[in-house]
Amino acid sequence: MQRTQRTTATSPVAPAFALRGFGTLAAARSSSDQAEFVRDLSQPRGLSSGEWSGRTDSVLGLQANWQATPELDLVAQAVSRYRYDASYRPELVWGFAKWDPNAHLSLRAGRLGTEFYMRADSRLVGYSQLAVRPPPDYFGALPFAHIDGADASATLPVGGILLRGKLFAGISTEKVPLADRLWDLDGSTMAGGHVDLQAGPWLFRLGHAALRFKHDLPAPAATVITALSATAVPSAIAAASALGVRNTESRFTSAGVVYDEGPLQVQLMFNRTQHESTTFQNSTGGYLLAGYRVNRFTPYAGWSRVISTPKSLATGLPNVPPLSQINAGVAGVLADSRSNQHTTTLGVRWDVRDNIAIKLQGDAIRGTPESIFPYRWEKAGWNGQTNVVTFSMDFIF
At residue 235, what are phi and psi to the nearest 5 degrees?
Answer: -65, -35
Buried b (16+ CB within 10 A) or exposed e, 158-189: eeeeeebebebbbebebbbbbeebebbbeebb
What Å distances lie between residue 122 and 34, 127, 133, 280, 353, CA to CA? 31, 10, 11, 27, 21
| CA dihedral (62, 125, 373, 311) positive or negative | negative
DSSP 204-240: EEEEEEEEE-SS---TTHHHHHHHHHHT--HHHHHHH
358, HSE (Cβ side, Cα atoms, 13 Å)? 5
Q: According to the model, what pLDDT value does residue 287 have?
A: 98
Cα(130)–Cα(84) distance, rounded to whole angstroms? 26
pTM of this structure: 0.92
Residue-level length of the chain: 397
Q: According to the model, what pLDDT value does residue 382 have?
A: 96
At residue 246, what are phi and psi to the nearest 5 degrees?
Answer: -60, 135
How many other C-beta atoms are found inside a 10 Å radius of the C-beta of residue 112? 24
Q: According to the model, what pLDDT value does residue 14 have?
A: 55
Cα(3)–Cα(215) distance, rounded to whole angstroms? 40
Alpha-helical (H) ranges within the chain are 136-139, 221-230, 234-243, 323-335
Positions of the chain with pLDDT under 50: 1-11
Cα(235)–Cα(193) distance, rounded to whole angstroms? 38
Bridge partners (DSSP) of residue 157 are 162
Domains of the chain: residue spans and CATH: 18-396 (2.40.160.10)
Quick check: 11 and 68 in contact, CB under 8 A?
no
Cα(45)–Cα(57) distance, rounded to whole angstroms? 12
